[in-house]
Amino acid sequence: MTSIGALEQFNPWWKTGNVKDSWLEPYKRHIYSDIEKYTGKRQVILIWGLRRTGKTTIMFQLIQDLLSYTDNKHIFYFSFDEIVFDFKEILESYQQTVLGSSFDDAEGKIYIFLDEIQKVDDWENKIKVYYDLYPNIKFFISGSASVSLRRKSTESLAGRIMDFQMKLLSFEEFIEMNGRDMKKIREKPDLWKRELIPLFYRYLKYGMFPELCAENDEDFARKYILNNVIERVIYKDLPDEFEIKDVELLKTLVYIICKKPGMIVNYREIGKDLGKDQRTIANYFEYLEFGLLIKYVFNYRGSPIASRRKMKKAYLYTPNLAFAFNQDIDPILPYMLENIVASHTDARFFYRNSFEIDFIIPDNDKQDIIEVKKSRKSIKQVKKYQEKFGDKVGRSIIVTLEEEGTVDDIPVTPAWKFLLDTAFL
């Protein structure tokens, strides 16, 4: 049986009545209110996302708020991140040594928070048993492996679970965490331009991770992203989920994409360069997508199914990953800019057929288009697309590093301002 001491380490509020200050962050992410309003609902809450995005922090914030109206010992937290304990044993130990009764006999609601739940074998069915047996238990669970978590939860916990993706910091959240008033900025953004441009460059490089939000040491930021995100996913999370024979190949593929985010993916050519077969390269790219290190954007062909059969580009889940592998980002700055647009719009398509448009966003019967300017050629490409597809084209915009204005009736917007435009996000 798990000792009371081991459980108390994770749950100091049983004695103090509060979560440790060092575990809390005073700033609450925008998603917090979306999750918090379902605290009183029966369903399991699943919070998933890339490592270091703040899933654990938001759990502790929820716990701190619950402590204001809940018996301290009716709130239980446990993390499976480092060592996988027996699921049933932990909950039995909690009942016997802390509650002093079974869940059936406990008076009032019990809130159970389980971190990195994907590390527990058959977790979805184990949760289901307790969910069905004990209506007085409210589960909050988190995890880092997106596909597996969501598939298993949908299959085994249908109707019993609500999931929330913990994304990286939005630019607005980053600005707020750096002490700026977004209400004032939204009223007159140009008045804040001199402050926002330096913030944007820091955000582009490494500021999408909450713990790096106020960091000024770039070497530390690089090591943080490399060690705590990239290598953690490659050397721990993915091997825990798959039988991976060559983990160094995963790191090599990430390195390749970090040198040119948005590259056209050709498994055969990459395999030829690395001395690996095409199928292996394709599988390893899938692992990276599973681990939320990369995302695909497909060549638009009128329907999602047709598009997925055509060529695709590989972007990083966040351009911050590229910063970890590049001491000098100037040569790849245009690609990082393109990547941040891909990340924030969650774009799924681009267009390439004699000319190219970076991002196509279907919107009902229209197609919004976004071109990230790398040269004067960008404007011509937008005009070509408008001429070719006519009334099917909705909004058009060209995103730049700092340039702003209108060219041939096409809005040209600096990236810092684009990231605050909720119409495209």
Tokens standing for 180? 């700026």
The stretch 109-125 carries a mean pLDDT of 95
pTM: 0.94
pLDDT tens figures, 144-160: 866 677 777 878 898 99
pLDDT level of residue 83 (50, 70, 90 thresholds): confident
CA torsion angle for 58, 60, 65, 70 (degrees, to 10)? Answer: 140
The stretch 136-148 carries a mean pLDDT of 87
Say if CB 357 and CB 326 are below 8 A apart: no
Tell whether the torsion through CA atoms of 52, 56, 62 and 63 is positive or negative: negative
Distance CA 175, CA 155 (A): 39
Distance CA 103, CA 92 (A): 9
Other beta carbons within 10 Å of 174: 23
The stretch 42-68 carries a mean pLDDT of 98
| Confidence (pLDDT) at 272 | 98
Nearest-CA neighbor of 346 among 167, 98, 150, 209?
167
Q: What is the CA radius of gyration of the chain?
A: 23
| Confidence (pLDDT) at 306 | 58
pLDDT tens figures, 5-44: 889 999 999 999 999 999 999 999 999 999 999 999 999 9
| Confidence (pLDDT) at 301 | 84
Secondary structure class of 207 (helix, strand, coil): coil
Tokens standing for 142? 């988190």
C-alpha of 315 from chain center: 14
| Confidence (pLDDT) at 147 | 64
